[in-house]
Structure 1
């Protein structure tokens, strides 16, 4: 019972934190930017968002197949694309922004009989995408002049911390029976097998770059829709900072840190906090619509029975 309560509390504080951030931003800028961001969307913008989401979803699904293959829980690209759409849809309607990915890991694990490996494959795939996105943000902020540059030390510190932890874990771990030693060995082996193997890491990096480019393009599309006409060179650093913040699992179905960071970054760039808030709201609405195919995948999964997985010959869920 205590374990259930602790798990419920950990899940609750994440989305409560996102809701608090969102409430504070709305209190500062008002509800006008929220309505402006929604009114700015038309069929042309939404269709473009759907097209961009298709590119980013395929890239993310490809990255997942590469990582899953190295961990021994391979799956086909079409199945991965469908599962990613379903996960993205769930992420946009459930607190935390990660429950959809947990769901796809569990479903894939049940179909392969390796739930632990399947969940770790999803976790490492997401981690790789966030790491490449943060590295791109560091590079862009270092190269392009931007008022969002104060975020650079924090990004560099985060990337450096990850690098140090990776070096420590990749070193020989003492052969002990302690749980932390066993966990460290699992992490070390996963990093070596799934992320650093030569036949995988170039594809993982390329897929992450393509996905990040699609997210940036979607945010620029949202900015243009609400009337922000700043050059792309000005919006690019802002977009990357906003996307890094949006990746934090401290949100309410994706909302919260994204809007707060957008309001700050756009205000620092002289574009206005209201413009940043409107852009973030428009972005969230575009993503919500673009991931509606995931609802169809979810509904189809409830109507169909498990079919053989062509990769492993075991039951697969739609």
Structure 2
């Protein structure tokens, strides 16, 4: 409870700091003009993200020889998204998935491997797509491409590290080395063969595209002229990375701050950027609705079964 209270306090402070740099009247005016229909499309895009993510997780579980029905994956994944509201950053749901399915099947390592693979592919596609969007934006603005080249070089270096990593029994006594060996094993298992590579990357692109679409609808809901693909990709990328830091409730505050900072740096008026962040926050909350309903229904089922078992 103390940890949750601390995270809630940090979240409130971050929102307070964001509001301090805004013109209240301009922000209210921007929020009044929000197109609710487009905002609803943003929520639906986030629901699509949950469905695609659950399907990708099922595919990744199969890579690690753990066959699971799509219904089970969808239910657990949706619940994990809802649980993220109270667990650290945006990775608390990953812990929930490992516990929930690992406890049910008794194969924690395979489930953990699938979740790590899931997270790795998401970050990989996010970095590559963001680098492409940033490259196009910098070219249009006449800016330097050094940062983009460094980002792509770092991604390539990561793969070189994985496939040249030395595995030695003599070093297994070191805990950090054992963790690295496991992560290398997960990546190699994930990209074993062209079929797996295309499945993993293709599904990851589809998953990220649904989040980009949600941000695109949020931008359009605030101002039609803001509906630009590069703005949607870059603001979503930084917001996703910021939300992973486990210092606020479900990444709120950090996510909105990243959206405001990114859009402002890209030339969007700060009040409109804050309005986009607010609409995207609503979409993020809407994403949790299917999982919350699944959690409530499973709780009711357990409560109804208890009297029957007692009799």
The two structures have a TM-score, normalised by structure 2, of: 0.80
Equivalent residue, structure 2, for 1:174:
168
**Residues 278-293 of structure 1: pairs in structure 2 closer than 5 A:** 278-293=275-290
**SS of residue matched to 2:160:** helix
Greater alpha carbon shift after TM alignment, 153-162 vs 250-259 = 153-162
Equivalent residue, structure 1, for 2:293:
296
Equivalent in 44, 50, 64 of residue 71 of structure 1: 64
Matched, 1:26 2:19: yes
Name the CA distance, whole Å, in 2 between partners of 1:151 and 1:98.
33
Equivalent residue, structure 1, for 2:254:
257
Deviation of 1:283 after TM superposition, in Å, equals: 0.7
Q: Can you list the C-alpha shifts for 1:53-93, whole angstroms capped at 9, x where unaligned?
A: 23212221122122222223332222222222212222245
Relative to 1, partners in 2 of residues 1:172 and 1:22: Cα closer, same or farther, differing over 3 Å?
Answer: same
Equivalent residue, structure 1, for 2:115:
122
**How many residues matched?**
298
Q: Can you list the C-alpha shifts for 1:258-287, whole angstroms capped at 9, x where unaligned?
A: 222222222233321111111011111022
**Residues 123-138 of structure 1: pairs in structure 2 closer than 5 A:** 123-138=116-131
Deviation of 1:193 after TM superposition, in Å, equals: 0.8
Q: Can you list the C-alpha shifts for 1:126-146, whole angstroms capped at 9, x where unaligned?
A: 221122011101011112447
Name the CA distance, whole Å, in 2 between partners of 1:9 and 1:159.
41
8 A contact 1:49–1:218 mirrored in 2: yes
Q: CA RMSD in A?
A: 3.4
Equivalent residue, structure 2, for 1:112:
105
Equivalent residue, structure 2, for 1:274:
271
Relative to 1, partners in 2 of residues 1:195 and 1:252: Cα closer, same or farther, differing over 3 Å?
Answer: farther
**SS of residue matched to 1:199:** helix
Equivalent residue, structure 2, for 1:194:
190
Q: Which has the higher helix share?
A: 2
Relative to 1, partners in 2 of residues 1:183 and 1:286: Cα closer, same or farther, differing over 3 Å?
Answer: closer
The two structures have a TM-score, normalised by structure 1, of: 0.78
Relative to 1, partners in 2 of residues 1:225 and 1:195: Cα closer, same or farther, differing over 3 Å?
Answer: same
Equivalent in 186, 210, 220 of residue 214 of structure 1: 210
Equivalent residue, structure 2, for 1:88:
81
**Residues 35-54 of structure 1: pairs in structure 2 closer than 5 A:** 44-54=37-47
CA radius of gyration, larger in: 2
Deviation of 1:244 after TM superposition, in Å, equals: 4.3
Unaligned runs of 5+ in 2: 303-311
**SS of residue matched to 2:268:** coil
Name the CA distance, whole Å, in 2 between partners of 1:107 and 1:22.
33
Name the CA distance, whole Å, in 1 between partners of 2:249 and 2:23.
19
Greater alpha carbon shift after TM alignment, 181-190 vs 195-204 = 195-204
8 A contact 1:67–1:121 mirrored in 2: yes
Name the CA distance, whole Å, in 1 between partners of 2:140 and 2:254.
18
8 A contact 1:46–1:290 mirrored in 2: no
8 A contact 1:37–1:281 mirrored in 2: no
Relative to 1, partners in 2 of residues 1:181 and 1:56: Cα closer, same or farther, differing over 3 Å?
Answer: same
Relative to 1, partners in 2 of residues 1:123 and 1:22: Cα closer, same or farther, differing over 3 Å?
Answer: farther
Unaligned runs of 5+ in 1: 1-7, 306-318
8 A contact 1:144–1:237 mirrored in 2: no
